């Protein structure tokens, strides 16, 4: 009897999950499937974030995808002292690239960056080791050998003022899949209610 109750609950949860999924932009389903096929390696969450510098030059770096904010915004953690902060303040336009080897799929997300001020919950998700890095020296500055000892793991750290949660709000998604015999390419735009259209690769 217990077994059948559990089975029913599982079926109901599965149903709810599918219903929630159907409300998401359809590119979220494609991305979910690419991530699933890629496996559970930490590198599955490494994405490339491009910003525009104050002097209008492109800047690119790897960051960790920390999850979704609403249906079509990505969360990224960073350090207030890093250069990208000045970039998005002078120009919020940014692009994220997420590549999946197993499915040979390249996702290019165009969007805008802003900072989430209410970030305490996100800080609480970090390990002590990760938290410590927000108390190290300024990223990009020359190492001062006299303060080397501060590069250690501390415990029960309060939220650092340098801890920043970025919210990358997606405006469009461009997916290129290298397939045989022909490659496929799709475009979704928020302004077009995320309608999926196929375009030339
Ligand atoms: C695998 C990997 C993951 C990284 N994850 C992050 C991250 O989540 N947030 C971040 O700010 N920097 C991350 N970095 C460091 C950035 O690539 C970059 O060096 C740093 O943010 C300074 O960039 P900026 O000077 O352009 O602001 C990561 C680097 C690597 C190699």
Please work out whether the CB of residue 113 comes within 6 Å of at least one atom of ligand 1. Answer: no
Residue range 66-124, pLDDT digits in tens: 999 999 999 999 999 999 999 999 999 999 999 999 999 999 999 999 999 999 999 99
pLDDT (tens digit, 9 = 90+) per residue, 121-160? 999 999 999 999 999 889 999 987 776 556 677 778 899 9
Q: Which atom of ligand 1 is nearest to the CA of 85?
A: 27
- In terms of Cβ atoms closer than 10 Å to its own Cβ (0-12, 13-18, 19+), residue 158 is exposed
Both structure tokens of 77: 């953690």
Residue ranges per domain, the chain? 2-140+150-199
Give the architecture (CATH level 2) of 2-140+150-199.
Answer: Roll (2.30)
Which is the closest atom of ligand 1 to the Cα of 76?
Answer: 8
Determine whether the shortest distance from the Cβ of 52 to ligand 1 is under 6 A: no
Ligand 1 centre distance from Cα of residue 58 (Å): 15
């Amino acid at each position: 009897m217990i077994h059948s109750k559990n089975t029913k609950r599982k079926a109901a949860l599965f149903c709810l999950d599918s219903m929630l999924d159907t409300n998401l932009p359809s590119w979220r389903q494609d991305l979910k499937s690419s991530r699933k096929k890629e496996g559970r390696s930490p590198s599955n969450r490494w994405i490339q974030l491009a910003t525009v510098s104050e002097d209008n030059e492109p800047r690119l770096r790897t960051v960790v995808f920390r999850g979704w904010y609403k249906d079509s915004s990505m969360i990224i953690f960073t350090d207030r002292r890093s250069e990208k902060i000045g970039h998005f303040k002078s120009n919020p336009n940014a692009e994220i690239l997420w590549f999946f080897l197993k499915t040979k799929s390249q996702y290019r997300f165009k969007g805008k960056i802003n900072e989430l001020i209410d970030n305490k919950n996100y800080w609480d998700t970090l390990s002590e080791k990760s938290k410590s890095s927000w108390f190290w020296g300024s990223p990009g500055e020359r190492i001062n050998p006299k303060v080397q000892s501060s590069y250690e793991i501390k415990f029960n750290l309060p939220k650092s003022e340098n801890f920043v949660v970025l919210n990358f709000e997606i405006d469009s998604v461009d997916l290129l899949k290298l397939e045989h015999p022909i490659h496929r390419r799709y475009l979704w735009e928020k302004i077009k209610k995320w309608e999926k259209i196929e375009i030339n690769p």
